[in-house]
Structure 1
Amino acid sequence: MKRLDLSHKIMNTDALPMKDAAPNGWRGAMRRVMTSPALLALVVVLSFFWQLGAMPLYDLDEGAFTEATREMLASGNYITPHRDGEPRYDKPVLIYWLQAASTQTVGFDEFGLRLPSALAASVWVLALWFFVRERLDAPTATVAGLALALSLQVSLIGKAAVADALLNLFIALTFFEIYRYWQALDFKSGRRFVRRAYLWMGLGFLTKGPVAVFFPVVVSLLFVLSSLRWSKASALALWYWLRAAVYPLGWLIFLLVAGPWYLAIYLDDGAGFFKSFFLQHNLGRFEGAMHDHGGFPGYYLVMLPVILLPFTGWMLSLFKRYRSAWLDPLDRFLWIWFLVVLVFFSFSGTQLPHYLLYGATPLFILMARHREALTNRWLAFVPPLVFFGLLLVLPFVLDVAMVVSSRPYDVILFEEARHAITLEYGIAALGGLLLTALMLRWSSPPLWRRLVLVGLVQTLVVYGEVAPRVLDTLQAPVKEAALIAKQTQLPTVVYRTSMPSFSVYREAITPNRAPQPGELVFLRVDKLEHLTREHPELDLELVYHRGHVALLRARPGA
């Protein structure tokens, strides 16, 4: 069937690459390096694999995911995830399976637990590169991949033992197939894209549930509706969308991928998962704030500049083209993708920064495609300058926070964080600030190239100095206490403390209750007063204390 072109009055610029100037000498060499797939490969290694196993797991998220994986391996129950002996209904099962397979292959440690996320983030970059190369050109694909891999929030989830990198991979793959199908606009030749889209949605549904289906369906429908005119071609386009939406083979693929586990957990655990996951962790998150993760309608407008660091100004430069963006099919598709995610989560009761990443992939493509629109150097460099400036003054902020804080627990954390900040940290933060200022003053290369270099500096500073010190302050004491408890081989409980990485490192389920004589108890130091007040009969002996956590032994009575 002949391809139907709904934009016959508009020049379709999908295949028109945006070419940088190609001077000779060192400028030409720099241009080739900055658009080289080899550079992209090095950035992927730096962003997602460097320091992958060097930092302790963070609580609550990494600890909860990895303890469920540990208990899955220990129990042999690969159907219902459990955390500290209780069913964990927060997420479906795929990430636990992948973490289990990874740790069985490379070892049960931080590296093995985080490896599936690093691999998923790497494939995410690769999928974006292939999509942009076929739609535009290879240099633009490389630039989009660099922006994706070096952005702050993407690199964070690419190094985290949680489900978000995996979900973003499947969401991106689904959208890429949707656009390929739209370009074919011939169901017979495009149905292979539809089949693959259902495959990715099935895997996404097995990773995090309905969100993997909701956004592709809504965005694809709105994109088709945005192209409608009073013509036969428009009616056929809507018909092609409907055929894809109700494609029996596609839904069969989806059910074959996701259905067996959902059936298995129902048979294994009854309706508990479905009530908790779909009603509480999906519908409930939209209707109200969970775990105090509330926000306000403009929350993501505030968080977007942080999520995209150091490329905030680059993203803002896209708004110069808002009038022409709607006329180009690819731009329109990408903008609808981003805006639907932004609007939906802006009105969600539960708001977390990484939710916006579901709609961030199109921004990186738009930034790469229209990189020549970034012409204001202050717009480009003020955000990273502010970021490095904040890192530099952090010690002084902590000094003030210790004085003004009214909660003793917070004061302890601020003191520990202040002690963790050494001369090396200050040199790194100052170096990042000075190098960014140098990029601001450097006049020769295009601004986007200089921002990519700033992205490399940001990655080195964040994961070379900042993240290790933050996690050492918050999590190293938890790990040390867990290893001591493991060595004693005494029964251990936690008291009013939710730090599941303690169970991961202790390699045992840790009930959350008051201790009995002869047991160890792990707790936050601010919970000790509650414990002694509620259980004055306990004779507690300090076993370990560092910063904000402590491990005590309830001595048996005489």
Structure 2
Amino acid sequence: MTSPSLPLPARSEGWGVRLLAFLERSHARALAILVVLSLVSFLPGFVTLQPFDRDEPRFAQASKQMLESGDFIDIRFQDEGRHKKPVGIYWLQAAVVSAAEAAGVPEARTTIALYRLPSLVGAITVVLATYWAALVLLSGQVGVPARRAAFLAGAFMAGAILLGVEARIAKTDATLAACSVVAMAVLARAFLNRLSPLPAVLSVIFWLAVGLSILIKGPLLLMVGGLAAAVLSIRDRSARWLLGLRPLWGLAIVAAITVPWFLAIWLKTGGAFFAESVGKDMLAKAQSGQERHWGPPGTYLLAFFGTFWPAAIFTAIGVPAFWRERRMAWVAFCLAWIVPAWLVFEVLPTKLPHYVLPVYPAIAILTAWALLNGDVHRRRPLATIATVLIPAIPLAIAAGLGVFAFRYDGTMLGPALPGFALAVGLALWSWLAFVRDRAVSSALLGVVSSLALSVSVFGVAQPLIPSLKLSPRLAAAARSLDCAEPRLATTSYREPSLIFLTRTDLVLTDGAGAAAFLAGGNCRMAFVEKRDEDAFAAHLSQTGLTPALVTRVRGFNINGGRQLDIGVYRTGREGASPPAAQGQQQDR
């Protein structure tokens, strides 16, 4: 192995290296610790975090409607077809909720945590598969113990902010990332050991991962893996190594997984699914910034320092080492995994942070190797300044949440302050360790700081900020309609989370429509945003109806960045006359 380009200062190994040496003695021990790190990182807030608008409740609601209708072919959101992604994630979510109902879990269909379980399993799989991929890539390399680097790479993924967020959101990206890293680990085995036959079981695992990924999110893994395979084949001037994957087997396996549903949805929708998913969703993202998610080239690179914190800072310092060793086969594989796909995502006008998640495991592996190889140290240009971001990120998050909670809820987040202090303190310790030339210890402290931050933000702070929980508070008000067939309507506040937490037949209307809705019968409730109340009151005066004001729900809608004030109005119970008196309760 080529020696580092800069001379390293004399130093002892530090406790971080000794800890990794202890963990590497047993795969079982290393994997068990990675599972624990994952659970500590991903579970806080898993149950208490409200459905996160807009994508998460759209997925969950569509899965819920499958259970309500018994139609597991078409994907619908209320009365409209949701023809953007294939059916895989909806089946996984529906299966979990159905099992929970069979086990007697109350209100399983509106319990968002159940719909998140596939994402949680996917995120844990990403961490463990990163460990496996690192072993595949680094076994036999001189200078860096493969198990040691594999554990560190897995720990980086467990602590990564982006994966932690996706583990808590009931949509496709954590499970897609799991399929991606599993498939890429097998592809790495085929490339690095192309002189020996690939075991049949690994070929089957590869094609199962590809097939499942297509059923979950279409061709994204094909793009990432296909670009990597093309670059590596050009590098070697041969693509014969791909024959080790047994492509004829692969076509049969992928077809068995995907064709039955694709054929069924084609017949059921008359081809409308493909017209919308390809023509209106995929191509729209390639042509313009869909749904206001536009960003210039370089957006992912800037976001990387937050989404892959804390490891991103060490990655940036290690880039010269990656480039220096680019001719090594395993480094070339990682770069082929990362660079072509990253460039495609940067060129596309639609920018969403999770798009680049499937390449993060390769970055984690390169970063772990560079740290253990001595290429990440304080003598790198700007290294000490760059590592100031380690404590800066948790400090900024803690301060931002504190200011938000005080402004919109008048709370000080006191119970979360010890956790925030611990996260910031560990991050400062991480920075000091780096300054003292203990880079590996610094990296491990950064991961532990990330765990403390996760517990503080998701487990302690967010339940104390009711202004962010508009839909759960409105849904709680709706439960006061204790009758057999309650009816609900809402005006300008139309977030998918409200539909998911209340009723699929929630009526979306305006102020005048809400008044007409309430006049249409008893046991009805309308959520009327303040800007709609003039029209609501004017129409009520024409009907002679005086519904009860049950409560007012005030909060902050992240989508649109607006404060909202919503009046909750109801008519009487079934068989009773609409109440004439208005209640005065205020829900703050």
TM-score (norm 2): 0.79
Helix, strand or coil for the counterpart of 2:396?
A: helix
Partner residue of 1:542 out of 541, 546, 549: 549
Displacement, 1:542? 2.9
Shift of the 532–63 alpha-carbon distance from structure 1 to 2, 3 Å rule, reads farther
Aligned residue for 2:460?
A: 465
In structure 2, the residue matched to 1:62 is: 56
Aligned equivalent of 2:557: none
2:121 corresponds to 1:105: no
In the alignment, which residue of structure 1 is the partner of 2:304?
304
The structural deviation recorded for 1:366 is: 0.8
Structure 1 residue aligned with 2:420 = 429
Instruction: Specify the SS of the correspondent of 2:67.
Output: helix
> 1:491 aligns to what?
487
CA 1:536 to 1:116, structure 2 compared with 1: closer, same or farther past 3 Å?
Answer: farther
Which shifted more, 443-452 or 148-157?
443-452
Name 2:89's counterpart in structure 1: 95
* C-alpha contact 1:222 1:336 (8 A) present in aligned 2: yes
For 1:530 and 1:45, locate their aligned partners in 2 and report how far apart those are by CA, in whole Å: 49
Q: Is the 8 A contact 2:416 2:457 kept in 1?
A: no
Query: Do the aligned partners of residues 523 and 85 (structure 1) sit closer, same or farther apart at CA in structure 2, a change above 3 Å counting?
Result: farther
Moved more, 143-152 or 380-389: 380-389
Residues 480-517 of structure 1, C-alpha deviation per residue, up to 9 Å, x if partnerless? Answer: 21233244153112323331222222244323223322
What does the per-residue CA deviation read over 1:418-459, in whole Å, with 9 as the maximum and x for residues that have no partner? 524422334433342233223333446633233233233232
Question: In structure 2, the residue corresponding to 1:102 is in which secondary structure?
Answer: helix
CA distance 1:290–1:544, shift in 2 (3 Å): farther
SS at the partner of 1:309?
coil
In 1: Cα distance, 2:117 partner to 2:184 partner: 25
The residue number in structure 1 matching 2:559 is none
Q: Which amino acid aligns with 2:477?
A: I
Cross-structure match for 1:172: 181
The structural deviation recorded for 1:263 is 1.0
**Correspondence for 1:289:** 289
What's the CA shift for 1:331?
1.1
- Match for residue 393 of structure 1? 399
Retained in 2: the 8 A contact 1:311–1:380?
A: no
Contact map agreement 1:60 1:498 (CA 8 A) in 2: no
Match of 1:359, SS state, is helix
| 8 Å contact from structure 2 (residues 190, 244) kept in 1 | no
Aligned pairs (5 A) from 1:99-248: 99-106=93-100, 107=105, 108=108, 109-136=111-138, 137-185=146-194, 189=198, 193-228=202-237, 237-241=238-242, 243=243, 247-248=247-248
- Stretches of structure 2 that go unaligned for 5 or more consecutive residues are 3-10, 139-145, 555-563, 572-577, 581-588
**Matched residue type, 1:387:** I
**Per the alignment, do residues 396 and 239 of structure 1 end up closer, same or farther by CA in structure 2, a change over 3 Å counting?**
closer
Partner of residue 507 from structure 2, selected from 508, 511, 514: 511
Q: CA RMSD in A?
A: 3.1
Quote the Cα distance in structure 1 between the aligned partners of 2:391 and 2:72.
47
| Shift in CA distance, 486/424, structure 1 to aligned 2, threshold 3 Å | closer
Is the CA contact 1:184–1:190 (under 8 Å) kept in the aligned structure 2?
Answer: no
Contact 2:313 2:390 in 1 (8 A): no
Q: Distance in 2 between matches of 1:523 and 1:190?
A: 62
**Partner deviation per Cα, 1:86-118 (whole Å, 9 max, x = no partner):** 221122111111111112223422331211111
CA distance in 1, matches of 2:324, 2:353: 29
Match of 1:32 in 2: 22
Distance in 2 of aligned mates of 1:536 and 1:185: 80
Which of 474, 477, 481 is equivalent to 1:481? 474
Q: Counterpart of 2:584?
A: none
Residue 41 (structure 2) aligns with: 47
- Give the Cα–Cα distance (whole angstroms) in 1 for the partners of residues 403 and 155 of structure 2: 32
Match of 1:378 in 2: 384
Change (3 A) 1:179 1:532: farther
Deviation at 1:321, TM superposition (A): 0.9
What is the rounded CA distance, in whole Å, between the counterparts of 2:33 and 2:354 in structure 1? 26
Aligned partner of 1:553 in structure 2 is 569
Kindly indicate whether the alpha-carbon contact (under 8 Å) linking 1:388 and 1:430 is maintained by their aligned counterparts in 2. Answer: no
Equivalent position amino acid for 1:433 in 2 = V
Q: CA deviation at 1:388?
A: 2.5
SS in 2 for 1:370: helix
Structure 1 residues 28 and 216: CA distance shift in structure 2, 3 A? closer
Structure 2: distance between partners of 1:533 and 1:182: 72
Q: For the structure 1 residues 92 and 537, does the alpha-carbon distance in structure 2 shift closer, same or farther, using more than 3 Å as the test?
A: farther
Query: Per the alignment, do residues 530 and 34 of structure 1 end up closer, same or farther by CA in structure 2, a change over 3 Å counting?
Result: farther
Measured in 1, the distance between the counterparts of 2:496 and 2:504 equals 11
The one-character-per-residue Cα deviations of 1:36-69 (angstroms, maximum 9, x if unpaired) are 5132221011122343212222211221111111
Partner of 1:404: none
Aligned pairs, number = 514
- Maintained 8 Å contact 2:430/2:441: no
Residues 195-227 of structure 1, C-alpha deviations (whole Å, 9 max, x = no match): 433321111110011212222112211122123
SS at match of 2:239: helix
SS at match of 1:493: strand
* Cα distance in 2, alignment partners of residues 162 and 61 from structure 1: 7
TM-score under structure 1 length normalisation: 0.83
**CA distance, structure 1, for counterparts of residue 17 and residue 322 of structure 2:** 31
Q: Secondary structure at the match of 1:291?
A: helix
Residue segments in structure 1 that go unaligned for 5+ positions in a row:
1-9, 12-19, 229-236, 399-412
Partner letter of residue 460 of structure 1?
Answer: V
- Show the counterpart of 1:402: none
Secondary structure of residue in 1 paired with 2:72: coil
CA separation of 1:212 and 1:420: change in aligned 2, threshold 3 A: farther
How far did residue 245 of structure 1 move?
A: 9.1
Cα distance in 1 for partners of 2:359, 2:539 equals 48
State the Cα deviation string for residues 258-277 of structure 1 (Å, max 9, x = none).
Answer: 11111111222222211111
The answer as to whether partners of 1:374 and 1:447 remain within 8 angstroms in 2 is no
Secondary structure at 1:360 match in 2: helix
